[in-house]
């Protein structure tokens, strides 16, 4: 069975990390996020995945030089300009003539995809949507359904006290090829806001599969950090590799993920944080609730806290104090980011 993985987004919420690395290649517990998705898909019988790409496409080819991941064959569909979720699916899946799966490139889940496919088949649906239950649906698109799962509407980001349900669109779909005929070619179209709502009027076409297990959108700094800490808590597999074998730790590291060749000096402290490959935390520095990018250096006695994000290769000066900061390499800094603090 085939799947389309939507990995073409720019990951703007995760800047400055995504200036140099696509969101889908960022590590979760020292495993590239996309590898976690591909392993999950393969575990449910997916043997071919089309990567729908746009922004920073080449790093994917470099990461998978043989266009394979284990037993999964990878193909690439590179958009010339952004096509939206529906447009990207149509572009990537245009030659698929059978039922297929679609997954957003920021969805981390333990969904029983096999059960969802069976649900879809039993109802002879054209499209099925994975629905996840959240405490506060006001930041999401909520999807009310009938008792058998048939979708009766889409409500985007309703006030919490007015939401008709707390089951939200969780970004995994099972589609029949006929759905592609509903999507115009080579224009920007949203499947959540345009394609699916137009299917609601046709009975027995669109269903929602409710599944209460683990789900997380890793697209924001807070959620990216949470995903890594969820590995440490056991909510996700992989805690044994959360501190890379090639890392050097002489300081105090608590509840943190430490990447390959990272270095934590004696007297330094790292808590509830993520250090990417080659990050260096010098003596006396403190890193709390933060993410330090690949090859970045946190100088002697410097302090990071309150979800500070340090971009790849940035140097934070000795004795600097950064709270809730976004530190980008000088050549990549944009609105909302600040160049790295140079010594």
Examine the domain organization and report whether 203 and 250 are in the same domain.
Answer: no
Confidence (pLDDT) at 331: 67
Q: What is the mean pLDDT of residues 127-140?
A: 92
How far apart (Å, rounded) are the C-alpha atoms in residues 219 and 106? 6
219 or 280: which leads in pLDDT: 280
Examine the domain organization and report whether 18 and 143 are in the same domain.
Answer: yes
List the domain range (segments joined by +) for residue 308: 243-339
The CATH number that applies at residue 53 is 3.90.550.10
Percentage of residues in the chain having pLDDT higher than 90: 69
Within a domain: 42 = yes
Q: How confident is the model at residue 284 (pLDDT cuts 50, 70, 90)?
A: very high
CA 72, 5, 92, 1 dihedral sign is positive
Q: Which alpha helices (DSSP H) does the chain contain, by range?
A: 33-42, 58-63, 84-93, 113-122, 196-199, 221-233
Domain count, the chain: 2
Query: 84: which 2 tokens?
Result: 């939206």
Examine the domain organization and report whether 176 and 283 are in the same domain.
Answer: no
Q: How confident is the model at residue 204 (pLDDT cuts 50, 70, 90)?
A: confident
- Given a cut of 50, whether residue 342 has pLDDT beyond it is no
Within a domain: 160 = yes
- Given a cut of 90, whether residue 330 has pLDDT beyond it is no
pTM above threshold 0.85? yes
Query: 69: which 2 tokens?
Result: 């991941």
Please tell me what DSSP assigns to residue 212. -
Percentage of residues in the chain having pLDDT higher than 70: 96
- Given a cut of 90, whether residue 283 has pLDDT beyond it is yes
- Given a cut of 50, whether residue 343 has pLDDT beyond it is no
- List pLDDT tens digits, range 71-105: 999 999 987 777 888 888 998 998 899 999 999 98
Contact at 8 Å (CB) between 171 and 107?
Answer: yes
Query: 37: which 2 tokens?
Result: 């998705």
Confidence (pLDDT) at 336: 57
């Amino acid at each position: 069975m085939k799947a389309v993985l939507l990995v073409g987004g720019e990951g703007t919420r995760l800047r400055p990390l995504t200036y140099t690395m696509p969101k889908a290649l960022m590590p979760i517990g020292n495993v590239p996020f996309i590898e976690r998705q591909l392993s999950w898909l393969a575990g449910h019988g997916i043997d071919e995945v089309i990567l729908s790409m746009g922004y920073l496409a080449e790093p994917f080819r470099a990461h998978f030089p043989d266009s394979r991941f284990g037993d999964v064959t990878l193909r690439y569909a590179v958009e010339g300009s952004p096509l939206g979720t529906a447009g990207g699916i149509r572009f990537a899946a245009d030659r698929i003539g059978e039922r297929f799966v679609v997954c957003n490139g920021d969805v981390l889940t333990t969904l029983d995809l096999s059960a969802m496919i069976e649900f879809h088949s039993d109802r002879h649906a054209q499209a099925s949507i994975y629905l996840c239950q959240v405490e506060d649906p006001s930041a999401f698109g909520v999807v009310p359904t009938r008792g058998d799962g048939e979708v009766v509407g889409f409500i985007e980001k309703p006030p919490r006290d007015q939401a008709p349900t707390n089951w939200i669109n969780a970004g995994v779909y099972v589609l029949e090829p006929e759905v592609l005929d509903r999507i115009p070619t080579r224009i920007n179209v949203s499947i959540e806001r345009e394609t699916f709502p137009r299917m609601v009027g046709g009975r027995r076409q669109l269903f929602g599969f409710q599944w209460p297990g683990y789900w997380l959108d890793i697209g924001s700094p807070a959620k990216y950090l949470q995903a890594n800490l969820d590995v440490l808590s056991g909510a996700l597999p992989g805690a044994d590799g959360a501190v890379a074998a090639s890392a050097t730790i002489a300081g105090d590291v608590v509840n943190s993920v430490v990447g390959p060749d990272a270095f934590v000096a004696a007297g330094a402290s790292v808590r509830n944080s993520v250090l990417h490959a080659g990050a260096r935390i010098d003596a006396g520095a403190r890193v709390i609730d933060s993410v330090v990018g690949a090859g970045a250096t946190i100088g002697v006695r410097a302090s990071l806290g309150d979800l500070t994000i340090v971009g790849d290769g940035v140097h934070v000066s000795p004795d600097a104090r950064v709270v809730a900061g976004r530190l980008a390499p000088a050549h990549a800094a944009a609105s909302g980011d600040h160049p790295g603090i140079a010594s």
